[in-house]
Structure 1
Amino acid sequence: MPTFSVLEYKSLPHGEGPGCIPAHLASRLAVAAQRSTFAGRGENGVLEDQRHALRARGVVGVISAEGCSLEILPKIDVDATEGSTEERGEIRKRLVHMLAVALDLKIETGRLTDLAWQQETLLEILIRIFCDKLTEAVRRGMPRRYLPQEDDLRALRGTLDLPRQFTRHVANQSRLACRFDELSEDIALNRIMKATVTHLSRMARSAANLQRLRELAFVYADVSAVSVSALAWSEVVIDRTNRAWRDLFGMAQLFLRNRYQTTSTGSGQGTALLFEMNTLFEEYVGRQVKRALAGTEFEAMLQGGRLYCLTSQEDGRGAFQTKPDILIFRGAEVVHVIDTKWKRISARIDDRKQGVSQSDIYQMMAYAHLYKAARLTLLYPHHGSLGDMDGIQARFHITGQSTVLETGSLDVSESGGVVGSLKDRILCLSKDVSGAFS
């Protein structure tokens, strides 16, 4: 089955040659994308089936339809030739890292060779990581717990169910109505793992992944098959007895639940594993900010605040609620508001406003008024046109106020230095905001 690849906001022309996609396959993929919850949201849609090309929008991931699949990758500047398999491999690494941080998962990718990153799609890589982790976990033993059971036995086990005994077996004393607890593997966590294996078996295309999934399906043969909609997620409690399964539980939610993505399956409908980059970037930055602030006098709140821009004169109720991406507190005082935007800003030499939208500025001015923070940051992904280093790109004072509003960039292509970059260049943890910038 042919697999095509495209970067977000780029196009695949219709055609039969390299770098093209046949028009009939483009139409199938566009139809599959229309079933996504991300479809039809302007720039945040999934695919646009144009007259001569298939154009990707602000959603990344993998879409499969009858006879083909399409991988949409984010536009992340990496140290590789543009359009090469090496570039796609490096981008997949960065995207998997962002997902791991956003979902608070420990995903070990060291065992994946460069060849795997370059030749396998994002979906196949995630399936392979899940299969490897699940295989290791079941080798150590599947989680079990005692479940209440009822059975009619020849010898007493547990306690005797007197009402059932004297109604059902009053004429047959050879049977005892017993109630007892039995150690069982047929529990909510294992049912979720089985459902994930079943779900991925319909999505996987790699022969190696399909073989791994068949082996895992055999391991879970005695566990009840439950539909995704009926899974008892709330019954799963991750504690010291099963903490080795925490990451697998998180990955199961990644595949089966609509946190950052949407998935769909069905005969003739295709499948999709899609991520809205605006939401993913926001969560990724938020978690990295929390790590950067660990051990300091500052504390970060994600999606907090929720103050209203307006108050009704009639009943005092609020209207137009705000929800800043990141609020940084020192005690009870908000000292910094960060709002993330997954889009490319231009260098100041090209555009004094850097392509920042007027609506974003109005939004930040509302935050300045409501939260009284001395510092506001619009944070974007870094790219090569902005220079070699990420950090503060431009700084302004809100007219008539001492409040500082800045644009900044974060290099998501560098996994090791993100926390340090946020702490040293973006956050500039200083009590004197006016002197915090060097």
Structure 2
Amino acid sequence: MSRAKVIRVFEHQTLKAEPDSAFTLSHFSALEKYGYATKEKYFSVGNKRIKFSNYVGVIQVKNLTIEVLPKADFSECDNAAKNKWHDALISMLKECRLIKLENISNAKLKLRSASILDLYYESFLTETERIVRHGLRKSYRNVSENLKKVKGKILFTEHAQKNFLHKERFFVEHKVYDADTRLNQILLKALLILSSISNNPAFNNRVKKLLLYFEDVQEKNINSSWFDSLQFNRNTERYKEAITLAKLIILRYSPDLKGGREDILAILFDMNVLFENYVYRKLKVLEFNTSIPINRVREQNRIPFWESRGIRADIVIETDKGNFVVDTKWKVLKYDQPSDEDLKQMFVYNLHYNSDLSILLYPKTTQNTSTKKPFRNEEFQSRNCQIAFTDIFNDEGRLYKCLGMRIYSELLQDELL
């Protein structure tokens, strides 16, 4: 099996199918059906072209892996920019706990230069190998079957129906102790998916070895409801990370959309939500800094607004001097002017969260000439709104590790002094 080709595009960009390119008409045909099946949630379908939306991540179709990268500023779209945003996306996913890299060796982290999808595969296989080394979790389960001897209890209704002409048999129910559990069935399903779609020979060899440990586990059709009822305890906690990754693989997998072997696996995230969660986690650490007068940082705080409707601020910062609302916006703001709708929304946040200041926070681009710009209402002078821009990269082109402190010093410090 040939190794997968990797191409990188930015969100909102268009990928055109051409005969001599890595993205061919056969890839387009498969993604066209996937796009219609998902109601064009992740990308829109045009004439032999795909236009990506605000979702970022990775799509595998046949032998092609497409990385959809975030991009706050389209002034540069060369390979250096793609490498920069490729690493930034991985760091954001790690910070937001959407991918775990701690258990991957430094040598294997070189996979970053290949594909984000490889990192997910590597993480899942590493976690599953760790589980196998300690032994698959076993438990008791009820089994109903026809036997030539009584074992457990006889199910008389089924016995009468099935063994009317076979007096030597008994339809019984009994308990067995084995590894055929729901957790292991989920891992098996994810392994089988990888065995059918992975184009990496090293991964395929590891999958084959792991499947040997699941010979007594049944393959099941697994949907989202399987994961809703899962509960972990101290005996099954070691499965949690592997199950999280398996869930991504299983639920984002769309087999045979074209009727042939053109399976698609898409692991995509809404960049607006990812940026919001990333900023929240960076601000959250400020709670533990005793030199900063912040009491609490809360996210996604929904409160009643009118009848059954509510409003939800992205981030609420609580201090002794009052509350501050931060609403993140992952988009390029032209001329440093927010929309009327956004300003009205922030004014409502000020009233309902009893906030003296609400901030519309955008990633800084080459088009932004200032760090922040206030918008005041003469009638409500104590309820202020401002737009702000923060540079998420340092001088080396990497994400700021202390972004929360940077936002605090640029936007909040003067308000709290």
- TM-score, length-normalised on structure 1? 0.73
Structure 1 residue 416 and structure 2 residue 401: aligned?
A: yes
Could you say what secondary structure the match of 2:254 adopts?
coil
Offset of residue 218 of structure 1: 2.5
Could you say what secondary structure the match of 1:205 adopts?
coil
1:322 to 311, 315, 319: 311
2:255 to 234, 254, 265: 265
Note the residue ranges of structure 2 that are not aligned, 5 or more in a row: none
1:336 alignment counterpart: 324
Deviations for 1:46-104, whole angstroms, at most 9, x for unmatched residues? 145368x6543322233344564433222268xxx9522x6544433332332233346
Deviations for 1:380-432, whole angstroms, at most 9, x for unmatched residues? 23446659xxx95333334432223232426164263234435554554xxxx
1:8–1:60 contact (8 Å) kept in structure 2: yes
2:270 to 260, 271, 276: 276
Note the residue ranges of structure 1 that are not aligned, 5 or more in a row: 312-316, 429-433
Instruction: Sort the Cα spacing of 1:2 and 1:179 in 2 relative to 1 into closer, same or farther, 3 A.
Output: closer
Structure 1 residue 8 and structure 2 residue 1: aligned?
A: no
2:351 alignment counterpart: 369
2:128 alignment counterpart: 134
1:32–1:270 contact (8 Å) kept in structure 2: no
How much identity, in percent, do the aligned residues show? 19
**Structure 1 CA distance for aligned equivalents of residues 209 and 389 of structure 2:** 48
Structure 1 residue 102 and structure 2 residue 90: aligned?
A: no
Letter in 2 for 1:265: P
1:105–1:247 contact (8 Å) kept in structure 2: no
Deviations for 1:324-348, whole angstroms, at most 9, x for unmatched residues? 22233459x97122212211345xx
Structure 1 residue 71 and structure 2 residue 67: aligned?
A: yes
**Structure 2 CA distance for aligned equivalents of residues 362 and 376 of structure 1:** 11
Letter in 2 for 1:286: Y
Letter in 2 for 1:340: T
Letter in 2 for 1:201: S
Offset of residue 281 of structure 1: 2.0
1:360 alignment counterpart: 342
1:335–1:373 contact (8 Å) kept in structure 2: yes
**Structure 1 CA distance for aligned equivalents of residues 61 and 98 of structure 2:** 31
1:338–1:377 contact (8 Å) kept in structure 2: yes
**Structure 1 CA distance for aligned equivalents of residues 222 and 229 of structure 2:** 14
Could you say what secondary structure the match of 1:35 adopts?
helix
Could you say what secondary structure the match of 2:313 adopts?
coil
1:63–1:70 contact (8 Å) kept in structure 2: yes
2:112 alignment counterpart: 117
Instruction: Sort the Cα spacing of 1:178 and 1:205 in 2 relative to 1 into closer, same or farther, 3 A.
Output: closer
Deviations for 1:208-241, whole angstroms, at most 9, x for unmatched residues? 2222222222322221211122763244322333
Structure 1 residue 34 and structure 2 residue 35: aligned?
A: yes
Could you say what secondary structure the match of 2:67 adopts?
strand
Deviations for 1:135-189, whole angstroms, at most 9, x for unmatched residues? 12321222233445678999999xx75986xx999xx999997855x54322221
Structure 1 residue 185 and structure 2 residue 185: aligned?
A: no
Structure 1 residue 59 and structure 2 residue 55: aligned?
A: yes
**Structure 2 CA distance for aligned equivalents of residues 370 and 318 of structure 1:** 16
Letter in 2 for 1:271: I
1:299 alignment counterpart: 296
2:142–2:173 contact (8 Å) kept in structure 1: no
- TM-score, length-normalised on structure 2? 0.76
1:324–1:339 contact (8 Å) kept in structure 2: yes
Letter in 2 for 1:28: S
Letter in 1 for 2:264: T
Could you say what secondary structure the match of 1:138 adopts?
helix
Instruction: Sort the Cα spacing of 1:210 and 1:399 in 2 relative to 1 into closer, same or farther, 3 A.
Output: farther
1:200 alignment counterpart: 194
**Structure 2 CA distance for aligned equivalents of residues 67 and 152 of structure 1:** 46
Offset of residue 31 of structure 1: 0.5
Offset of residue 436 of structure 1: 2.9
1:191–1:231 contact (8 Å) kept in structure 2: no
**Structure 1 CA distance for aligned equivalents of residues 170 and 62 of structure 2:** 56
1:301–1:327 contact (8 Å) kept in structure 2: yes
Listed as ranges, the matches of 1:192-231 within 5 Å are 192-229=186-223
1:288 alignment counterpart: 282
1:403 to 376, 379, 383: 383
CA RMSD of aligned residues (A): 4.2
Instruction: Sort the Cα spacing of 1:224 and 1:298 in 2 relative to 1 into closer, same or farther, 3 A.
Output: farther
**Structure 1 CA distance for aligned equivalents of residues 249 and 362 of structure 2:** 27
1:436 alignment counterpart: 416
Could you say what secondary structure the match of 2:312 adopts?
coil
2:72–2:331 contact (8 Å) kept in structure 1: no
Offset of residue 277 of structure 1: 1.1
2:61–2:264 contact (8 Å) kept in structure 1: yes
Letter in 2 for 1:435: E
Instruction: Sort the Cα spacing of 1:212 and 1:55 in 2 relative to 1 into closer, same or farther, 3 A.
Output: same
**Structure 1 CA distance for aligned equivalents of residues 169 and 202 of structure 2:** 54
**Structure 2 CA distance for aligned equivalents of residues 361 and 110 of structure 1:** 47
Letter in 2 for 1:338: V
Letter in 2 for 1:117: R
Listed as ranges, the matches of 1:138-177 within 5 Å are 138-148=132-142, 161=153
Instruction: Sort the Cα spacing of 1:204 and 1:175 in 2 relative to 1 into closer, same or farther, 3 A.
Output: closer
1:146–1:183 contact (8 Å) kept in structure 2: yes
Number of residues of Structure 1 aligned to a counterpart in Structure 2: 393
Deviating more after overlay: 244-253 vs 86-95: 86-95
